[in-house]
């Protein structure tokens, strides 16, 4: 139980009567082990209280707090000493404050899984955040970030969701492509001019949103087509004139949004016919490319499992959002099972079961 005295700016926490909070699935043996050790997973909620500073005294044991929520206040600074004492914190929510920096001691939170710093005025993340190796969700939307730590992708290998939309990012560090557990990447509403070239390493990425970078983003890397796990792709409202031919290999793609781009390839009449026709068009273009350049990508496609030798069967439902804002139904399974013969590879009769 927590009580805050607004008149004296003091906070009292009574842990003797508070309930233990269980996060995630744990078996009975783990619960009994925690009971023996006296481990408490406390939730301290100080959100939406018009606080300018944190009313936490130095004698308070912050080591037993699992979740600290100080969102929706007017806090400008989080003391380094406070963050360093949150040794067992799994969730830290500081969104919608007046923060300009994140304390370097954030790196002490080795058990932190979720960090929400959205809705502040933060321009950069401390390099020490790379020590938060357990981090799975990072929400940094609606800040003033102009860059991410260069080696963030080499350290935060457990990250599953990265949200950095509505910032001032001009690029994503190349190490981003090494976030092999990443499932959701949201980088819309930035100033992105390009994407990393080695996106094929994002083997678990399902949702990619890089929309609304407007005139800044005019090309997509060829490696985009080797993210075979991709289900949703939003590249709308950019300055893209051509989709990479490799996108014909995105067999799991169900939703593609390309509206608001000056697309020339594929041409509008192809785009109107749905995903299966788009992929046929891109397949034919890939086959016509310079053979030496194509051979360099054949190796990568083989490495990441494009040549399985199996036949794609079954019709699946998916949509492609066009400038007219209408949904087009089509098959999302591409012709990517081989690349050595155009007849064997890009035959719609052999590799597509189409919905009419």
Rounded-to-integer distance, Cα 207 and Cα 204, Å? 9
Q: Which one-letter DSSP state was computed for residue 242?
A: B
Inside any domain, residue 155 = no
Residues 233 and 356 in one domain: yes
Inside any domain, residue 173 = no
Inside any domain, residue 88 = yes
Inside any domain, residue 156 = no
Rounded-to-integer distance, Cα 88 and Cα 66, Å? 6
At residue 61, the pLDDT reads: 86
Count of the separate structural domains present in the chain? 2
Residues 76 and 217 in one domain: no
Q: For residues 42 and 65, is the Cβ–Cβ distance under 8 A?
A: yes
Residues 126 and 197 in one domain: no
Model pTM score = 0.74
pLDDT by residue, tens only, the chain of 356 residues: 444 444 444 444 434 333 334 333 344 444 444 444 444 579 999 999 999 998 877 667 899 999 999 999 999 999 999 999 999 999 999 999 999 999 999 999 999 999 999 999 999 999 999 999 999 999 999 999 999 999 999 999 999 999 999 999 999 999 999 999 999 999 999 999 999 999 999 999 999 999 999 999 999 999 999 999 999 999 999 999 999 999 999 999 999 999 999 999 999 999 999 999 999 999 998 888 755 455 555 565 555 555 444 333 333 334 444 444 433 333 333 333 333 333 333 333 322 323 32
Coil, helix or strand at residue 35:
helix
Q: Name every residue whose Cβ is closer than 8 Å to that of residue 38 and which is 6 or more positions away in sequence.
A: none
Residues 83 and 197 in one domain: no
Residues 138 and 193 in one domain: no
Domain end among 144, 172, 197: 144
CB count within 10 Å of CB 285 equals 17
Domain that holds residue 26: 1-144
Inside any domain, residue 68 = yes
Residues 140 and 196 in one domain: no
Q: Can you point out the beta strands (E) in the chain?
A: 2-5, 10-13, 42-45, 65-69, 91-93, 114-116, 137-139, 161-163, 184-186, 207-209, 232-234, 255-257, 319-321
Residues 201 and 117 in one domain: no
Residues 106 and 4 in one domain: yes
Beta-bridge mates of residue 255 = 232, 319
Residues 137 and 245 in one domain: no
Q: Where residue 243 sits, what CATH number does that domain have?
A: 3.80.10
Rounded-to-integer distance, Cα 213 and Cα 187, Å? 9
Query: What's the CA dihedral at 177, 157, 169, 123 to 10 degrees?
Result: -160
Q: For residues 145 and 167, is the Cβ–Cβ distance under 8 A?
A: yes
Inside any domain, residue 162 = no
Residues 120 and 207 in one domain: no
At residue 213, the pLDDT reads: 96
Inside any domain, residue 207 = yes
Q: Where residue 37 sits, what CATH number does that domain have?
A: 3.80.10.10
Query: How would you class 227 by CB atoms within 10 Å of its CB: exposed for 0-12, middle for 13-18, buried for 19 or more?
Result: buried
Reading across the β-sheet that carries 319-321, which strands appear in turn? 42-45, 65-69, 91-93, 114-116, 137-139, 161-163, 184-186, 207-209, 232-234, 255-257, 319-321
Domain end among 92, 112, 144: 144
Residues 210 and 355 in one domain: yes
Inside any domain, residue 292 = yes
Domain end among 88, 117, 144: 144
Residues 193 and 140 in one domain: no
């Amino acid at each position: 139980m927590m009580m805050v005295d607004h008149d004296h700016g003091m906070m009292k926490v009574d842990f003797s009567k508070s309930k233990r909070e269980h996060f995630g699935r744990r078996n009975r043996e783990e619960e009994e082990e925690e009971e023996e050790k006296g481990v408490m997973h406390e939730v301290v909620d100080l959100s939406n209280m018009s606080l300018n500073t944190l009313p936490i005294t130095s004698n308070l044991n912050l080591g037993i707090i699992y979740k600290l929520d100080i969102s929706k206040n007017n806090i400008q600074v989080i003391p380094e000493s406070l963050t360093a004492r949150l040794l067992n914190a799994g969730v830290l929510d500081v969104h919608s404050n007046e923060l300009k920096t994140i304390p370097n001691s954030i790196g002490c939170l080795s058990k932190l899984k979720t960090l929400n710093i959205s809705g502040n005025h933060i321009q950069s993340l401390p390099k020490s955040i790379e020590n938060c190796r357990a981090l799975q969700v990072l929400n940094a939307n609606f800040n003033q970030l102009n860059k991410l730590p260069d080696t963030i992708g080499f350290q935060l290998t457990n990250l599953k969701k990265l949200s950095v939309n509505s910032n001032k990012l001009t690029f994503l560090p190349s190490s981003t492509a090494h976030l092999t557990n990443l499932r959701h990447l949201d980088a819309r509403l930035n100033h992105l001019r390009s994407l990393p070239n080695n996106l094929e390493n994002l083997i678990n990425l399902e949702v990619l949103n890089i929309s609304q970078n407007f005139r800044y983003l005019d090309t997509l890397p060829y490696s985009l087509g080797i993210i075979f796990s991709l289900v949703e792709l939003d590249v709308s409202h950019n300055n893209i004139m051509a989709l990479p031919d490799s996108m014909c290999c995105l067999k799991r793609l169900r939703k593609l949004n390309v509206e608001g781009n000056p697309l020339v390839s594929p041409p509008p009449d192809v785009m109107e016919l749905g995903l299966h026709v788009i992929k046929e068009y891109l397949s034919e273009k890939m086959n016509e490319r310079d053979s030496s350049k194509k051979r360099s990508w054949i190796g990568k496609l083989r490495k990441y499992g494009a040549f399985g030798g199996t036949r794609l069967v079954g019709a699946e439902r998916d949509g492609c959002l066009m400038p007219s804002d209408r949904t087009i139904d089509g098959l999302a399974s591409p012709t990517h099972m081989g690349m050595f013969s155009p007849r064997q590879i890009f035959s719609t009769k052999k590799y597509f079961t189409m919905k009419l």
